[in-house]
Amino acid sequence: MTRRVGATDFSVRAALGRGLLVLLAYGGLLLLLAGLNEYHAVDVLLLAGLPMLISAWSFSFWGAGLGALASLGAALPFVPPDRYFLLIWAGGGYLIVGLGLALWRRWKNPVRKIRPLAQLVFKRSLNFAQMIDHEGQVLESNDRAVEVYGAPRRIWEFFHPDDQARVREELERAALRGEAGPLKLRTVSQSKELIPVELKFVRLEPTRQSRLLLEMRDLSALAELENKVREAQARYRYLIEDAIDTLDTGILLLDKERKVIWANRTLEKFLDLDREEMPGLEARRALAGAKQLFKDLNDFENVVACETAPFLFALRHGAGEDERILEYRSLPVSTERYKGGRIDHFIDITEKQRLERILQEKTKRLEESNLKLEEFTHVVSHDLKEPLRTMAVFTQYLIDDYGPRLDGEAQDYLNRIHRASLRMRHMIDDLLKLSSIGTRQENLEKISLAEVIEQLREDLKARLENVALIVPPTLPTVFANRTLLLALFGNLISNAIKYNDKPHKQVEVSWTPQGAFYHFTVRDNGIGIEERYLNKVFELFERLNPRDDYESTGAGLAICKRIVEEYGGRIWVESKVGEGSAFHFTLPVQVQIQTPSRNGATPALVGQAY
Binding site residues, ligand ADP, CB under 6 A: 491, 495-496, 499, 524, 526-529, 537, 542-545, 552-558, 581
Question: CB pairs under 8 A, 24+ apart, for 72-75?
Answer: 74/46, 74/47, 74/50, 75/46, 75/47
Min dist CB 459 to ligand ADP, Å, is 16
Min dist CB 364 to ligand ADP, Å, is 34
Min dist CB 580 to ligand ADP, Å, is 7
What is the number of the residue whose Cβ is closest to ligand ADP? 556
561 touches 538 (CB < 8 A): yes
Q: Which is nearer to ligand ADP, 441 or 495 (CB)?
A: 495
User: Helix or strand or coil: residue 509?
Assistant: strand
Question: Rounded to whole angstroms, how far apart are CA atoms 501 and 460?
Answer: 18
Q: Which is nearer to ligand ADP, 174 or 427 (CB)?
A: 427
Going by C-alpha positions, the residue among 456, 482, 488 that lies closest to residue 469 is 456
Min dist CB 376 to ligand ADP, Å, is 24
Min dist CB 396 to ligand ADP, Å, is 23
Min dist CB 471 to ligand ADP, Å, is 17
Phi and psi based region of residue 578 (left: phi greater than 0; alpha: psi -120 to 50; beta: remaining): left
250 touches 346 (CB < 8 A): yes
Min dist CB 581 to ligand ADP, Å, is 4
Min dist CB 577 to ligand ADP, Å, is 9
Do β-strands 342-348 and 250-254 pair in parallel, antiparallel, or remain unpaired?
antiparallel
Phi, psi of 260 (to 5 degrees): -70, 130
> Which stretches within 135-219 are classed as H helix?
143-149, 161-177
The single-letter DSSP state of residue 319 is T
Q: Which is nearer to ligand ADP, 3 or 532 (CB)?
A: 532
Q: Which is nearer to ligand ADP, 35 or 546 (CB)?
A: 546
Task: Find residue 252's DSSP bridge partners.
Answer: 263, 344
Min dist CB 465 to ligand ADP, Å, is 18
Q: Which is nearer to ligand ADP, 90 or 460 (CB)?
A: 460
Q: Which is nearer to ligand ADP, 197 or 557 (CB)?
A: 557
Q: Which is nearer to ligand ADP, 449 or 557 (CB)?
A: 557
Cis peptide before 182 (omega within 30 of 0): yes
The single-letter DSSP state of residue 9 is I
* Neighbour count for residue 38 (Cβ, 10 Å): 7
Question: CB pairs under 8 A, 24+ apart, for 240-248?
Answer: 248/347, 248/348
Q: Which is nearer to ligand ADP, 114 or 470 (CB)?
A: 470
* Neighbour count for residue 222 (Cβ, 10 Å): 13
Q: Which is nearer to ligand ADP, 356 or 579 (CB)?
A: 579
Q: Which is nearer to ligand ADP, 509 or 558 (CB)?
A: 558
Min dist CB 450 to ligand ADP, Å, is 22
Q: Which is nearer to ligand ADP, 59 or 610 (CB)?
A: 610
Question: Rounded to whole angstroms, how far apart are CA atoms 566 and 439?
Answer: 10
Min dist CB 391 to ligand ADP, Å, is 21
Question: Rounded to whole angstroms, how far apart are CA atoms 47 and 445?
Answer: 132
Q: Which is nearer to ligand ADP, 296 or 579 (CB)?
A: 579
Min dist CB 519 to ligand ADP, Å, is 18
Question: Rounded to whole angstroms, how far apart are CA atoms 16 and 23?
Answer: 10
**b (16+ CB within 10 A) / e for 72-96:** bebbeeebeeebeebbebbbebbbe
185 touches 201 (CB < 8 A): no
What DSSP string describes 188-208? E-TT--EEEEEEEEEEEETTE
